[in-house]
Amino acid sequence: MKKVLIIGQGGREHALAWKLQQSPEVSQIFVAPGNAGTALEPGMTNINIEATDVTALLEFAQTHQIDLTIVGPEAPLAAGVVDTFRAHDLAIFGPTQKAALLETSKVFSKTFMAKHGIPTASFAHFDNAAAAKEYARHHTLPLVVKASGLMAGKGVIICENEQEAFAAIDALLMDKNSEIVIETFLQGEELSFIVMTDGVHIVPLATSQDHKRRDDGDKGPNTGGMGAYSPVSWVTPALEEKILNTVIKPTLSALAKENTSYCGFLYAGLMISPSGDIQVLEFNCRLGDPETQALLPRLKTDLFALCWATTHSQLQDKCVEWDDRVAVSVVLCASGYPGPVKRGDTIHHYRVDCDEAVKFFVSGAKNQEQQLITAGGRVLCISALGKTVHEARARALYWAEQVTWPGKFYRKDIGWRAVERE
């Protein structure tokens, strides 16, 4: 029996812990630091160590003889937790600091894609506002301004006119040492394509689609993600094959050529044009949030076995089975998100156990005197299974309505494209 440490504190990590706990091979799960959701699940223990405190995480893993550590978010990857654990011969699931540059630096990832012929929007990068504005002035509109570094999904501004572009450039270049990317606006439908890989073998997960804008109808500012569904029905086996051949495999082999082997989840955020052209919007070096909350309720294969095989370069033996039902995850937010939010409100009617087809995941809430208190912008994520996207969404929305706190809001139209197709 194995002891597992999960690093992170969001809805994705709650979902990971919940799924890993179902493995017959796992005896104990620790989550650092975890949240109120992992605190309330039976058989899990939160430990009071920040996700980026690499020294304390290492010491904990050594003292408690952790068999496998799984990294949820990007910040610990950027902090080099994988490099440190490996240097101490500890099994850890996730890419090294260098491989994680694919996500942590957009200047790196765009330059990497251009160099290796991986399809992506044309771009230029700047650390100087005057030069960026000069470039923007001659660029067709709309254009996209992106912070190079990590911004929790909030560093991308789509600009319809020159004034907006100049404001975005000033805002994102305000900090010293910051860099931006300016790129061509792409049209089409977005797709989250996530694989598990040990650097050589690749196991694609089910497809999913996130909803980045805050409001119904894909309006309002970009967020970390307001909801997702899986699978995406229009992704044919031929398209999947094309994504593997034009994006995933070339990326892994280019990394290997640069002596950077990749282990973990690799997430390609793609734009698929109406004619089936593929462009990479971004890479993430981890699972998506809230895609995970839509994917894992459908996963029938033992997640621990998959992560163990990946970490021990035995992924070739593995195939993955999925529930035939569709899953929809709906994110419930605190008033103000994605800007500054109100915290500290009491959440009523949270359910650790719901019915078989529904699961509540905590994204940003803590336990205080036996009560659940809001503690972040994205507070909860409710996932539901159904025969159709429409049915799964209706089920998730029913429960989203039952949970209450002042200022709670959520999108009611997650999966709208799929529902229209149904």
Tokens of 46: 């939160």
How many of the chain's residues bind ligand GLY (CB under 6 A)?
7
H-helix or E-strand spanning residue 45: strand 44-46
Would you count residue 291 as binding ligand GLY (CB under 6 A)?
Answer: yes
Q: Using the minimum distance from each CB to ligand GLY, give the nearer residue, 145 or 191.
A: 191
34: CB partners within 8 A, 6+ apart: 6, 9, 13, 14, 17, 44, 46, 47
- Give the residue among 338, 360, 350, 336 at the shortest CA–CA distance from 408: 336
Q: Work out which of 284, 310, 329, 374 binds ligand GLY, going by CB under 6 A.
A: 284
8 A C-beta contact, residue 359 and residue 370: no
Q: Dump strand ranges (E) for 225-325.
A: 227-230, 264-272, 278-284
Q: Looking at 75-83, 283-291, 339-347, 385-393, which segment touches ligand GLY (CB under 6 A)?
A: 283-291
Residue numbers 212-231 binding ligand GLY by CB under 6 A: 225
For the bound state, the minimum distance from the C-beta of residue 232 to ligand GLY, rounded and expressed in Å, comes to 14
Would you count residue 417 as binding ligand AMP (CB under 6 A)?
Answer: no
Q: Using the minimum distance from each CB to ligand GLY, give the nearer residue, 95 or 225.
A: 225
> Which residue shows structure tokens 């429960």?
399
Pairing state between β 44-46 and 26-33:
parallel
Q: Using the minimum distance from each CB to ligand AMP, give the nearer residue, 157 or 358.
A: 157
Site string for ligand AMP, 262-291 (x = CB under 6 A): -------x-----------xx---------
Partner interacting with residue 291 (select from ligand GLY, ligand AMP, none; CB below 5-8 Å by kind): ligand GLY
Site string for ligand AMP, 17-46 (x = CB under 6 A): ------------------------------
Q: Using the minimum distance from each CB to ligand AMP, give the nearer residue, 139 or 395.
A: 139
For the bound state, the minimum distance from the C-beta of residue 408 to ligand AMP, rounded and expressed in Å, comes to 24
- Give the residue among 80, 65, 73, 55 at the shortest CA–CA distance from 5: 65
Tokens of 14: 């709650």
For the bound state, the minimum distance from the C-beta of residue 288 to ligand GLY, rounded and expressed in Å, comes to 3
Q: Helices 106-116 and 249-257: crossing angle, nearest 10°?
A: 100
What one-character DSSP code corresponds to residue 143?
Answer: E
Bond preceding residue 231 cis, omega within 30 of 0 = yes
Would you count residue 109 as binding ligand GLY (CB under 6 A)?
Answer: no
Task: Give the C-alpha separation, 52 to 49, whole Å.
Answer: 8
8 A C-beta contact, residue 405 and residue 364: no
- Give the residue among 328, 334, 412 at the shortest CA–CA distance from 378: 334
Q: Work out which of 103, 183, 302, 345 binds ligand AMP, going by CB under 6 A.
A: 183
For the bound state, the minimum distance from the C-beta of residue 185 to ligand AMP, rounded and expressed in Å, comes to 4
Measured at CB, which residue is nearest to ligand AMP?
A: 282
Site string for ligand AMP, 133-162 (x = CB under 6 A): -----------x-x---------x-x----
Would you count residue 302 as binding ligand GLY (CB under 6 A)?
Answer: no
- Give the residue among 190, 233, 235 at the shortest CA–CA distance from 210: 190
153 CB neighbour count, 10 Å cutoff: 18
Residues that bind ligand GLY (CB under 6 A): 153, 210, 225, 284, 288-289, 291
Residues that bind ligand AMP (CB under 6 A): 121, 144, 146, 156, 158, 183-186, 190, 212, 222, 269, 281-282
